[in-house]
Structure 1
Amino acid sequence: MFLFFKSLSRSVHEEQQEPEFKNNIELDGHCTSLTVWRKSLIASCNGFTVIDTNGNLAYRVDNYMGHPEEVVLMDGSGKSLLTLRRRKKLTTVDSWLVYEGDVDEECGRDKLSKRPIYSVKKQMSILQAKRNVLAHVYREASNKRYAYAVEGSYAHRSCKVVDESRRVVAEIKRKEATIVGISFGVEVFVLTVQPGFDPGFAMALVLLLDQMFS
């Protein structure tokens, strides 16, 4: 199944002819384009499989069922990169903390960075909802000024991450294609990341959107 998906991934990227970003960050380098498959490589788990343009496994998530309190993003070899933890507060707002590192399951000891590198909060404001704002990203948990906003519709796989200057740094696009009789739906989509923005963190935002809006 994974080898079959790699061939589909190559076909998806081969069909992309020009970048879809128009007024974005202009930096040296190229955009990172990833094919995201909303399916774990482990049959008994929910998760994600992420393939790069060469058909290689870039990221994977296969460590949860349902709506967990913690989600771990791993690289292709299974090394934990980021740990996402739901904030345990008496509030109706879905909020998460993003840490570097993981948890040593054998010893039960926390190997995470002591402080979260980002916090992400689901947008509940009616005024912000009119702009299709899904979530705000803060550099520190206590920071009241957001660094990035996520806008669009995750259900339709049409989202963009913008910075404070309204520049698009990452984008989720639904990929419509029919290859050897198979149509891509919302379970397979493309994540495009601009130079200067961490693709791993962009994928972490995808995981949080999936938890908040699936």
Structure 2
Amino acid sequence: MRVFPRFKFLSRAVHEEHEGEHDGERNRVDNYIGHPNEVILMDASGNSVLTLRRSRKLGLVDSWFVYEGERGKQSTRSKWCKSNNSPVCCVRKRVNILDGKPKVQAYVYRVASDSDKRHAAFTVEGSYAHRTCKVLDECKKAVAEIKRKEANSKDVSFGIEIFQLVVHPGFDPSFAMALVLLLDQMFS
């Protein structure tokens, strides 16, 4: 399985930084900055981990780019962050109903190399509207899942807004959360 190596570093920084503290909040999301096409995923200290920005190109495909840290600012978290802050990956909503893959909700493409532009690194299959999705790697192995939260009692029912994000070992939790945010932007 090929994982984005940069996200492994960010994940360790997010989750090991407050290992002794249990304040109940590990990540938070900022989208109240006046840019409706931009969402920032932050750690508990308020440092930006990932920036998600909608592509401004005209077209029918809903595309989002994922950047390290806060786009437009030098990341203090990572020394290898370039000043031009190029995107790490692109997430595209599937819109072609004739492509024969009705389960696929979105494709995740690597941006680093030209050879990977036509081959998806990850696919999101299932139904985000019903909160039953799986993120699959190139080998079709599930690396993360979105599941509806089930109550212990049959008398209690959770709404569609309550769900679980299950991240399998070896996959970055911050990137999994970024995919949830992007799916919410694409399908809500």
> Do these two structures clear the TM 0.5 threshold for a shared fold by scoring above it?
yes
Partners of 1:118 and 1:131 in 2: CA distance = 23
Q: CA deviation at 1:127?
A: 3.5
In the aligned structure 1, how far is the partner of 2:95 from the partner of 2:47? 34
1:64 deviates by: 3.1
Give the share of equivalent positions with the same residue, in percent: 59
Segment of structure 1 superposing worse, 152-161 or 139-148: 139-148
1:63 matches 2:34? no
For normalisation by structure 2, the TM-score amounts to 0.74
Equivalent residue in structure 1 for 2:73, among 100, 103, 110: 110
In structure 2, distance between residues paired with 1:90 and 1:161:
27
- Counterpart of 1:206, as a letter, is V
Q: Which residue of 1 aligns with 2:162?
A: 188
Quick one: structure 1 residues 110 and 165, their matched pair in 2 at CA, closer, same or farther if it must change by over 3 Å?
same
CA distance in structure 2 between the partners assigned to 1:196 and 1:57 by the alignment? 22
**Structure number with higher relative contact order (C-alpha < 8 Å, ≥ 6 residues apart):** 1
TM-score (norm 1): 0.65
Taking the aligned partners of 1:68 and 1:182, their CA distance within structure 2 comes to 35
- State whether structure 2 residue 105 is matched by structure 1 residue 134: yes
Q: How many angstroms apart in 1 are the aligned matches of 2:127 and 2:29?
A: 22
Match of 1:197 among 167, 171, 176: 171
Partner of 2:66: 98
Q: CA deviation at 1:182?
A: 6.0
Q: Does 1:167 align with 2:141?
A: yes
Gaps of at least 5 residues in structure 1 are 1-24, 26-53, 104-108
Q: Following TM superposition, by how much is the alpha carbon of 1:98 offset from its aligned partner in structure 2, in angstroms?
A: 0.2
Q: What are the superposed Cα offsets for residues 124-150 of structure 1, whole Å, 9 maximum, x if unpaired? A: 121446431000001117512110000
Pick the structure with more strand per residue.
1
Q: 1:153 — aligned with what?
A: 127
Question: Residue in 2 aligned with 1:3?
Answer: none
Inter-partner Cα distance in structure 1 for 2:69 and 2:35: 21
In structure 2, what residue type is equivalent to 1:80?
Answer: S
